[in-house]
Amino acid sequence: MIPSENFKPAPMTSNEDRRLEALKKLGVIGTDQGDIFDIYSELALEVSGFFAATCSLIDVDTQHGISLCSLNGELEKMTEGKPVKVERAQSPCAYTILTPEPLLVPDCREHEIFKDAGAVKAGMIVAYAGFPIINKDNYVFGTICLFDPKIKKLKNQEIKLLEKLTKRLAHQLDTQAEQKAITAEKISGAIGIFTETVGETSLSDFNYFVNLCAGRDIEVAKCEKLKNQELCFVTDNGFVELTDKGLKLQFKMGIQTKTLNKRKVEGEAANILVDSMLSELEAL
Structure confidence by residue, pLDDT tens digits, 15-36:
999 999 999 988 888 887 767 8
User: Which pLDDT does position 267 carry in this prediction?
Assistant: 52
Nearest residue to 229 (alpha-carbon basis) of 211, 215, 213, 209? 209
Nearest residue to 177 (alpha-carbon basis) of 10, 29, 12, 13? 29
Which stretch of 46-55, 83-92, 196-205 has the lowest confidence by average pLDDT? 196-205
3-state secondary structure of 23: helix
Name 133's bridge partners: 142
The Cα 129–Cα 92 span in angstroms is: 10
Q: How confident is the model at residue 80 (pLDDT cuts 50, 70, 90)?
A: confident
- What is residue 118's DSSP assignment? H
Which stretch of 4-13, 38-47, 121-130, 255-264 has the lowest confidence by average pLDDT? 255-264
The Cα 97–Cα 262 span in angstroms is: 53
Nearest residue to 146 (alpha-carbon basis) of 185, 96, 209? 96
The pTM for the full model equals 0.68
Pair 240, 223: CB distance under 8 Å: yes
3-state secondary structure of 275: helix
Structure confidence by residue, pLDDT tens digits, 173-212:
998 888 776 666 777 788 888 888 888 777 888 888 988 8
User: Which pLDDT does position 161 carry in this prediction?
Assistant: 96
Start-to-end C-alpha separation, the chain:
44
- Sign (positive or negative) of CA dihedral 258, 262, 263, 264: positive
User: CB neighbours of 124 closer than 8 A, spacing ≥ 6?
Assistant: 2, 147, 149
